Structure 1
Amino acid sequence: MTELLRWRLRLAGFDAESVQPAGGGVIAQAGVATLFSTGTQVFAKTLRTDDPDVFEVEAAGLAALRDAGLRTPDVLHVSPKLLVLAPFPAFPDTDDAWAALGRALARLHTSTAADRFGWPADGWLGRMRQVNTWHTDGHEFFAEHRILRWLPDITKFTAEDRRALERLCERLPELIPAQPACLTHGDLWTGNILGTPDGGVAVIDPAVSYAWAEVDLSMMWCSPRPPSSARFFSAYAEIAPLVDGWADRMRVLHLREVLSTIAHGDDDWDAVGYVREVLAPFRVRA
């Protein structure tokens, strides 16, 4: 299972004594490699498919977050076929760690306010493109590039499902208060959070763009997480006060992630049913 990764590590100058498989998302083979020369470890991912800029985009996203003050692993090597990162320990599930993460994310959001939504180039969410075309209107950006963008890749929706989703998009200015753009991680869930060797917290696997801060919060709020993660939100609010009604908006904002999941063909937890629940108020009733 890890032979392809081990071979590509060797070609890049990392002669691995062993590779312990690790979860690498939907497009990559990943593992922790122990090197012959030093006995040290690195985390590496290689592609199973030919997507030539996936790792370059990921490395650029990590650099952007790091430059803005969020901890990320050092990138030791990046090429079209291989990404090698310095290894970080698992995220410690403690109140202090969740508080540190909440404050770090709040500082990221409050220090990177911008007047445009998007990113200089499109990115990746899983194995599909994340459209990042610049836009000055946050509601239009979210509707076009974070919700409706996925409809061509989804076959499970009925015509009424699609129309309800369009109605929701039309009403986004009523549902989501106007907010500035800021630098967002874009895929912030527990699987993309790590510890650091000095006891801090760090993030990996970003899908960065300038977007609403609440999009990052919705990913954390709606994805599976331990009870201790409640400290994340209270600590975040110490630096970036949460706007009234924020929790009521989380499921609407999380549609971006759920629609991407369905477009990828991953619906073993009834993601379609989740979307239909959120869309219930936007259906036409006789």
Structure 2
Amino acid sequence: MANLAPESSNAPIRVAVAGASGRMGRMLIEAIRDSGDCVLMGALDVPASLGIGSDATAFLGLASGVPITADIDQGLAGADVLIDFTRPEGTLAHLAACARLGVSAVVGTTGFTEAQKAEIAAHAQRIAMVMAPNMSVGVNVTLKLLDMAARALATGYDIEIIEAHHRHKVDAPSGTALKMGEVIAHALGRDLKECAVYAREGVTGERDPSSIGFASVRGGDIVGDHTVLFAGTGERIEITHKSASRTTYAQGSLRAVRFLRGRTAGMFDMFDVLGLN
């Protein structure tokens, strides 16, 4: 159960961004600058980043007075909340500092192990956190639709999840695809760990009707496409979400930031943020 603090004033929410030199980091920084109710307070990146020491909004031709730093404490100083879309190891280090400093967090990083997820859950006992594999409002509405579809199509339909991303993505299936699988499996009363099929090659035999299949495509600059296929006899239902820009992730992240205002502890997801639970 999350703890709620008294509502704060209408002062701007002070936000720090991890991975500030990357594509997503820059998108977040621009969204914060344009938001009207948030202000950039800190910018973090790895020590090897060429952006270290430069102004966080230099890529916009503007000066924010916020330098990009590899010093976690410096990057979080004065911040109310951190937005982190980096890598599991980096995110864990950032969250440990957030828990120590009392900084809330919005986490869009994917690829965590079960042990790492347990570590994050422990941090959420000390700080408020929104964690979701995809911050897009549209994706999370799609997840709700998938829950409804899976319950209605529980028998007689084979379920396959197909996702496509850019050539630089390092994990597969995507965190969003896995979340889709988890939502569907839960709706069907199954355990995804037991029914997921991640690869097919050679003579595989007939399809197990209780399985949920995954297929991953990597290439070009695809931001993120996800399709869930419910294949029955005589008909197919496809539920698809396609991202054309990372702007959707940035705007969803800011909705999560606003949701955390006044909350002091607890683990939340985008269903909580959007009122879909």
* Structure ranking higher in helix proportion: 1
TM-score by length of 2: 0.25
* Structure ranking higher in strand proportion: 2
